[in-house]
Amino acid sequence: MSSAQGKTVLATGAAGGLGKVIAETFLAAGANVIICDVNQQRNSAVEEEWTRTYADRFLIKQTDVSNEAAVQELIDASVAKFGRLDVLVNNAAIMDDFSPAGDCSKELWDRVMAINLTGPFLTTKAAVKQFEKQKQAGGIIINIGSNASYMGFQSGAAYTVSKAGIMALTKNTAGFYADKGIYTMALLLGGLTGTNIVDSFAKGMHMEMYQKVMANQSPFEPGKNDTPLESIAKYCLFLSQSDIAPVSNGSCVVFNKNWPVA
């Protein structure tokens, strides 16, 4: 496995699911890790678990990534504890309920955009400012995208637009900051199991849209064509390597086990 010894890594939405697996992969590779999540119950459970294994090599903060002041406080606390920031993984996201534009409420649209797109913008903004000013300037941003980033008919309107925006934010940030030693890339993921994404369906879903999406693609079969969380985490670790990040800058890598079948 690649080494992250001495690096400081921040992963958002990481008290469970994919984010937690990414964080633990970096911890196992020797990094100091900060995670944030809005769910304090999950935060507390992870803190109790990691205290037994990783001692002073982690920091956990309850943070709403759509709140600019809270994001800045998160970055400041990370640097105060570990001295610098090397890698940001923008993982925090929620699903919509598969509503198409005509049936998507303004409330749902705003909530999905706030977490899935405004959040990564705010963390990116705060991170690049820190990357620029720290001794040995530079850093790496890994954005977690989706099949919906480049396929227009994979989910509802809100989630689709938010994840397409992640691809645009990735390329725009990569283009401007590369000569400052700041590299940005995205992983466009397929179907996942073992995440908290189903929380978004607690109030139901737009069944007509869902059925049309499912009928338009090859079946999703957990255990067969889901993308393993551990594989995604290892790829994040790979992308964070100093010789890999520069050549990966601006890349939006489809990482979906070829589901739906292309």
Task: Report, as residue numbers or ranges, the catalytic residues.
Answer: 159, 163
In the block, tokens 């139901």 appear at 204
Contact 25/11 with Cβ under 8 angstroms?
no
Q: Which two tokens stand for residue 12?
A: 């958002």
Return all residues near 157 (Cβ < 8 A) that are at least 6 apart: 96, 99, 100, 101, 104, 109
b/e for 19-43, b at 16 or more Cβ within 10 A? bbbbbbbbbebebbbbbbbbeeebb
Contact 43/69 with Cβ under 8 angstroms?
no
Q: How far is CA 164 from the centre of its chain?
A: 14
What is the C-alpha to C-alpha distance for residues 147 and 163, in angstroms, rounded to an integer? 8
